[in-house]
Amino acid sequence: LEFRRVLFRSDIGTHWGRGSILRLAAAGLVNGMDTHVFEPDRKVTRGMFVTVLGRMDGVSEDFLSPVDFGDVQEGDWFAPYVCWAALNGIVEGYDDGLFAPYLEITREQMAMILVRFCDAFGIPVLTLVNARRLRGDEEIERPTSRMSTYTNRRTPWATTPPTKQTAIPHLYLTT
């Protein structure tokens, strides 16, 4: 990754995520809302989340591939990353043929996109049960019944409440 100078600092001064925000921005994985404003408490959208993953994989801003999402157009800031993610089987749209890039992403959607990202690139994902055993935690939380059956099977770690210290809730990767 190429590191760059980060200009926005006014609204992240004492924010709990300041260090992570600056590291991610310096690595080019996240941008502010403009040159000087980041808006750290803004909700993450589906488009934002997929953009970060695409940048992690080095997807070019010029990347375009045909996608069948009626709400993703050439020229949209998220378009190259949504195209990349769809092409790699990382994202799916809704039944109405839309991707909904401006919709706030749910934890379940985040979990499934992360699992598909890891599957697409051969990155092994440990479940919460295994990760907690590795950390020595005794109590294992069970998935909630509100999550889909597929999500419960693949991502039981996604049901643990997030903490301020976790930018991506409970993702444990092996190396």
Task: Encode pLDDT of 60-105 as tens digits.
Answer: 888 877 778 999 998 899 999 999 999 999 999 999 999 999 999 9
| 36-40, 63-67, 117-121, 136-140: least confidently modelled range | 136-140
On the 0-12 / 13-18 / 19+ scale of CB atoms within 10 A, 38 is: buried
Which range, 6-10, 37-41, 92-96, 140-144, is most confident? 92-96
Q: What does the buried/exposed string (b/e) look like for 57-78 if buried means 16 or more CB atoms within 10 Å of the residue's CB?
A: eebeeeeeeebebebbeeeeeb
Does the pLDDT of residue 118 top 80, yes or no? yes
Residue pointed to by tokens 């801003």:
61
Distance CA 56, CA 171 (A): 15
Confidence of residue 146 (pLDDT cuts 50, 70, 90): very low
Distance CA 40, CA 51 (A): 16
